[in-house]
Amino acid sequence: MANLSDFFSQVLPYVTGCSYPLAEQHIRDICIDFCIHAPVAQLMTDPLDVISGERQYDIETPSGTVATIILEAAYYTRPLRIFKTGDMHVASLQGRTGEPSGIQQAAANVFTLDATPTQDAAQAIKLLVATKPARTADTVADVLLDDYAFEIGQGVIGRLLRITGHEFTNLAAAGLYTRDYEIARTAARIRAEQSFGRTTSRVRPRAFG
């Protein structure tokens, strides 16, 4: 995982007098924004045990991260359909039992099976998920620093320059940095969406402690 301070070289030279805590706050915020829009931080979760009678499960992501979207899912080797809001209503499937054919992601790190299991199944479900840093995170996925440090820095600078009352305040220039960041963010989203399932080796999440 990369420290927020690892991005300082892309930010502090452009915002004279900016404090470290303020810079870290906005680096975290931009990393979160980047990951919400571009699913570049991807990881394969450890296999989850299915429990008889239980339809809802937690998505276990590394400390300091939150799942933004499930990209792929499988029940052992069988792919599961990923339902989105509007595709189905989980409440209408309360009566279904047996092996699941799909899942629906809920808020936070939770998903629901489309059927109630009738027997336990060890290490049955595998997920490929995109993540974002948590609001209290001190570190972020390495891919954000390795591949997008400059672009994230541009977004951070754009936000900082909008803060009034500081030596570095520059509303006129802020929009230029923000525009470049948003263009790069869109390009990253397109790149990630074209390569689902092929970028997980680039993400080196912190081990569970």
Note the pLDDT tens digit of each residue in 175-192: 999 999 999 999 999 998
Say if residue 49 is in the same domain as residue 115: yes
Choose one of 106, 133, 160: the last residue of a domain.
133
Q: What is the C-alpha separation between 120 and 49, in angstroms, rounded? A: 7
For range 61-78, the mean pLDDT: 93
Residue 201, pLDDT above cutoff 60: no
Residue 193, pLDDT above cutoff 90: no
Say if residue 160 is in the same domain as residue 128: no
Instruction: Output the DSSP codes for 20-61.
Output: HHHHHHHHHHHHHHHHHHS---EEEPPPEEE-TT--EEE---
Say if residue 145 is in the same domain as residue 156: yes
Q: Each residue of 76-125: pLDDT tens digit? A: 999 999 987 665 555 555 578 999 999 998 876 899 998 999 999 999 99
Domain that holds residue 148: 2-40+141-202
Say if residue 169 is in the same domain as residue 122: no
* Total domains in the fold of the chain: 2
Nearest to 162 by CA among 4, 6, 30, 7: 30
Choose one of 109, 133, 157: the last residue of a domain.
133
Q: Is 207 within the bounds of a domain?
A: no
Choose one of 104, 133, 162: the last residue of a domain.
133
Give me the chain's average pLDDT, please. Answer: 88
Say if residue 7 is in the same domain as residue 29: yes
For range 41-62, the mean pLDDT: 93
